[in-house]
Chain A
Amino acid sequence: MDEQDSQRHMSVTQWDMQSPASSWRAFLALVRRDLRLATAQGAGGLQVVVFFAVVVTLIPFGLGPDLPLLQAIAPGLLWVALILASLLTFDRLFQADFEDGSLDGLVCGPLSLEGIVLAKACAHWLTNAAPLIAATPVLALLLNMDMGVLGFLILTFLVGTPGLTLIGALGAGLSVGVRRAGILIALLVMPLYVPVLIFAIGAIEQARRTLDAGGGLDLLEPNALFLTAASLVAGLVGVIAAAAGLRLHISG
């Protein structure tokens, strides 16, 4: 009898086992699945990169071949083009899993909804934001951009885009039950992008001034720190709000 009882206890602790390791494995499994789905379902990431490139190449046609002018506006231009391109990518972030019932199964797993949002946002960053950042040096050449400034621009992309992705997840999570949510997400999300954009451009301008003056880059200058903070806050708010939005729709 005692032996049977201890057996029972073991079988129950097996279900009660929810170690950080199992959450981490579930997180990685979800990221891997989303990466596979993204690569299997055609060139979604590539299309976004092409859109990004087209927006950037259209600008010289609109402004004329004024190289100093292009050089001056290049960082802001690339940032705005990156934001526009990334806005196109969020409408399917949770929609597919929500519509086909996968989300119900995911919720019964070891990850919280916040963890699910974070995992899907990671995969989304790798398949959408990372290709955009990789394409930036080529486009910077078209805009006659200074190499030192380009390096710093890419640094601001790397710091800022995780925040942008999670803010986009917020828009996607809140509008997951809505058909053709693309424009709604853009309207929800764009105002929240403003702090990241302002501090990123501020940091790049500061870097350009110090580079022009012959100084070295200061990564701890206030604009860069504010950009990091804005990205972190955006990310935190994005995860919590996206999970809340999904919870609302699952119970709807």
Chain B
Amino acid sequence: MTGQGDFELVGQGLACARGGRLVLDGVSFAARAGAPLVITGPNGVGKSTLLRVIAGFLDLAGGRLLFKAPSVQEEAPPAAKHIHYVGHLDGVKSALCVRDHLIFWARYMGAEPCSVDAALDAFGLTRLAALPGAVLSAGQKRRVALARLLLQERPLWLLDEPAVSLDKAARAILRRVITNHCANGGVVLVTSHESLEIPNAVDLTLSPPPQRPAT
């Protein structure tokens, strides 16, 4: 992934309303390649909402979201093809085995088939590859969900509580994978309640917006 160095995601005064209530109001940040943005804050403050806004699942009620890509003049919100979004749900089908699950996502995203073995290996899933999703533990499912990140290079990673139910070894893998992506010039936004000890991480602490009705 040489030459991704200029990727940058900038949010300016982002606002988002859910259920007639402003969950986000005036959130600004700049996530640069090489420095993962760790979003923290109390429950319900809008960490997941912020990631879903950036992923394009939710509409902005105000503010601007700009994704700068190298050799692209115009700045626009990030497109789906730039984004790997791993939410707090794992999306692991109980009837599919781990390998078939990743093969499906590789095919679906148009990735190389050989990326599946590399992703299995990176997350220590090779031994589990033939097991159906139904028998996996919560941490193993989490690893399967995260392995999707490595199937295809996409510059912008949005990870919602990726470390939940991961053991120490899996957290180290996650840290390494995130660090690698950043070193290659990728942009990472991650929400977390506990410190992931990612080097060069930049903190973004969200605080509840002042209560005013959504417009």
Residues in chain A within 8 A of chain B (CB atoms): 4-5, 7-9, 11-12, 14-16, 18, 22, 25-26, 28-30, 32-33, 36-37, 40-41, 96-97, 99-102, 104-111, 250-251
Contact = CB atoms under 8 A, between A and B. Distances in A.
A12 B72 CA distance: 9
A8 B5 CA distance: 9
B141 to A, nearest CB: 10
A250 B108 contact: no
A100 B109 contact: no
Nearest to A7: B3
A16 B59 CA distance: 23
A123 to B, nearest CB: 13
Given A5-B71, A105-B91, A11 B108 contact: no
B135 interface: no
A243 to B, nearest CB: 14
Contacts of B128: none
A26 B107 contact: yes
29 contacts: A4-B2, A5-B3, A7-B3, A8-B3, A8-B70, A12-B69, A12-B72, A26-B109, A29-B107, A29-B108, A36-B95, A41-B95, A97-B91, A99-B89, A100-B92, A101-B90, A101-B91, A102-B91, A104-B89, A105-B85, A108-B55, A108-B81, A108-B83, A108-B85, A109-B80, A109-B109, A110-B81, A110-B110, A251-B57
Nearest to A19: B110
Given A37-B93, A104-B55, 6 more contacts: A4-B2, A8-B4, A11-B4, A99-B89, A107-B80, A251-B59
Contact of B91 (A8, A26, A100): A100
Nearest to B105: A105
Nearest to A111: B108
Contacts of A104: 55, 57, 85, 87, 89, 91
A85 to B, nearest CB: 23
B59 A101 contact: no
Contacts of A25: 107, 110
A15 B155 contact: yes
Q: How large is the interface on B (under 10, 10 to 19, 20 to 34, 35 or more residues)?
A: 35 or more
B1 A11 contact: yes
B57 to A, nearest CB: 5
Contacts of B82: 15
Query: Among the interface residues A15, A30, A104, A108, which one has the most CB atoms of the partner chain B within 10 A?
Result: A108
B100 interface: yes
A26 B92 contact: no
Given A104-B57, A105-B148, A110-B109, A9 B71 contact: yes
Query: Among the interface residues A14, A41, A99, A102, which one has the most CB atoms of the partner chain B within 10 A?
Result: A102
Interface in B104-147: 104-105, 107-110, 145
A101 B87 contact: yes
A140 to B, nearest CB: 34
A213 to B, nearest CB: 53
A36 B100 contact: yes
Nearest to B84: A108
A9 B2 CA distance: 10
A100 B89 contact: yes
A250 B57 contact: yes
Contacts of B4: 8, 11
A40 B96 contact: yes
B171 interface: no
B95 A12 contact: no
B56 to A, nearest CB: 8
